[in-house]
Amino acid sequence: MKMNDYINDFTNHLREAIEIANNTELKTNTKEIRNVLICGLGGSGIGGTIVNDIVSPKAGIPIAATKDYSIPNFVNEHTLVIANSYSGNTEETLYALKKCQARGAEIAIITSGGKLKTIAEENNYNKIIIPGNQPPRAMFGYAFTELFFMLNHYGIIDDSFKSDFDKAIALLDTEKADIQKQAMDLAKKMYKQTPVIYVANGFEGVAVRFRQQINENSKMLCWHHVVPEMNHNELLGWRTNVDDLAVVYFRNKSDYERNQIRMDINKKVISEYTDNISEVWSKGDSVIENSLYHINLGDWVSWYLSEMNEVDAIEIDVINFLKGELGKI
């Protein structure tokens, strides 16, 4: 399969993830959960970042994500730790998990197999197993969806997310042709440029996903920033070294009103230095719909750019080299 095949199947991935979750039996938790830590990196970890953006404003307890070997000092027997590694062999996640186990945390696993699945089975941890042997970033729809079901099982969120997912799936199917057209138009403006991605606070995970897909699929460097924070620093950077930049604003009707105003002013400032500025408004009535809309569109952009750059979107030779070198130590 090529990367565009995976992107084309995105809503099918979401549907199947929902079916897998509904058919998975999870044991009842008896611990009092006071905080949550989601462990994961790369194509697996970004799901935790986006879920954190969506869930934290409504959750009654703190939720954090770690993308490292280390864990926060707050982790204890009242922490729900969700270890999320598609392969089940992510080195950093396994190291972090071991430390969480030593603290007596409540452990839950989302994976397709590997060492993580073995650990879950040996310790009778709650686990959701998703289809394996595919590029992790291409299977985002599975791990992302299962995080919501896991948080719901532990009472961290209610089940309103289920209808949001159903609406998002219907929306993406209906808007598929238009999303692809927007993505192609955007890719043309980003071709042979360095993309600069801006979003409002609450959607940084979506921007990171877009950046990662451009990095991995399109084999391009880019950066992102968040409003309002970028107003206090990066906005001043728009004076020098501003050649060959393509600015992309991912916007949502749900963005905070003052941030909407800030983004409009930002465009006026930046337009003095480049006319390569694009704005993409999401569709849908919920943050889940908005996020999945932009994620799917961004994935298509990364594919079209890979074609324009004449690179293999799936190839990750340099990452495999890094892992091989680490494995020697």
Catalytic residue IDs: 216, 232, 323
Evaluate the CA torsion angle 131, 135, 138, 140 in order and state its sign: positive
How many residues appear in the chain? 329
Q: What are phi and psi of 203, to 5 degrees?
A: -130, 20
Omega before 228 within 30 of 0, i.e. cis:
yes
**CA dihedral over 2, 246, 54, 173, signed as positive or negative:** negative
- For residue 250, give the nearest of 222, 219, 225, 216 by alpha carbon: 225
Task: For residue 186, give both structure tokens.
Answer: 């955007």
Instruction: Give CA angle at 281 (45, 4), nearest 5°.
Output: 55
Residues in contact with 99: Cβ distance below 8 Å, sequence separation at least 6, in sequence order: 70, 71, 75
